[in-house]
Amino acid sequence: MLSKTIEEALNKQIRIEAESSQVYLAMAVWAEVKGLEGISNFMYDQSDEEREHMLKLVKFVNERGGHALISELNAPNITFNSFQEMFEKLLAHEIFVSESINDLVHISLQEKDYASHNFLQWYVAEQIEEEAVARTILDKINMIGDDKGGLYLFDRDIQQLAVVSAADTPVQ
């Protein structure tokens, strides 16, 4: 059985994962409108992954006798000045999510809820992976800058990156 404190904290994370899915969906759409299909597909996949993260939490809360809350979401940013800016925002967002997961792990220990603590380790590992991918992409984009040819090649390469990262971190 979940304590009220951990239930509230898990529900807050459900909302964050749902908002993350919307944040990346908006990025996918923007990239698609700009004609960069590889980047757009990568973002659509990220958006799907975040929804999976949310669902995993929803099931966990309900299985442990809580009530997962499906709440209203903040609207995401829908336009960007550049792909560089978009990927900076992606990394910043993942860092924010990692901090939130850390807080949640801390609360699970305070509550002596070792089942939740164990469950959350999957998210800890996932965040390491997601931050690493976001950093790799940003490094590449920073090298390319405004070079159109570079962006075209990058758009092709990022499909590969999406496949590799998805294979590394299956959602159970």
Residues of this chain that interact with ligand OFO (CB under 6 A) are: 17, 20, 50, 53, 94, 97, 123, 126-127, 130
Of residues 56 and 154, the one with the C-beta less far from ligand OFO: 56
For every residue of the chain, DSSP letters joined together read: ---HHHHHHHHHHHHHHHHHHHHHHHHHHHHHHTT-HHHHHHHHHHHHHHHHHHHHHHHHHHHTT--------PPPP---S-HHHHHHHHHHHHHHHHHHHHHHHHHHHHTT-HHHHHHHHHHHHHHHHHHHHHHHHHHHHHHHTT-HHHHHHHHHHHHHHHHHHHHHS---
Q: How far is the CB of 146 from ligand OFO (least distance, A)?
A: 28
Compare residues 53 and 158 and give the one whose CB is closer to ligand OFO: 53
Rounded least distance, CB 30 to ligand OFO, Å: 18
Closer residue to ligand OFO (CB): 50 or 113: 50
Q: Amino acid identity, residue 45? A: D
Q: Which is nearer to ligand OFO, 24 or 154 (CB)?
A: 24
Q: Which residue is nearest to ligand OFO (CB)?
A: 53
Radius of gyration from C-alpha coordinates of the chain: 17
CB of 152 to ligand OFO, least distance (A): 27
Nearer residue to ligand OFO within complex by CB, 94 or 155? 94
Least Å distance, CB 129 to ligand OFO, is 9
Q: Find the shortest distance in angstroms from Cβ 17 to ligand OFO.
A: 5
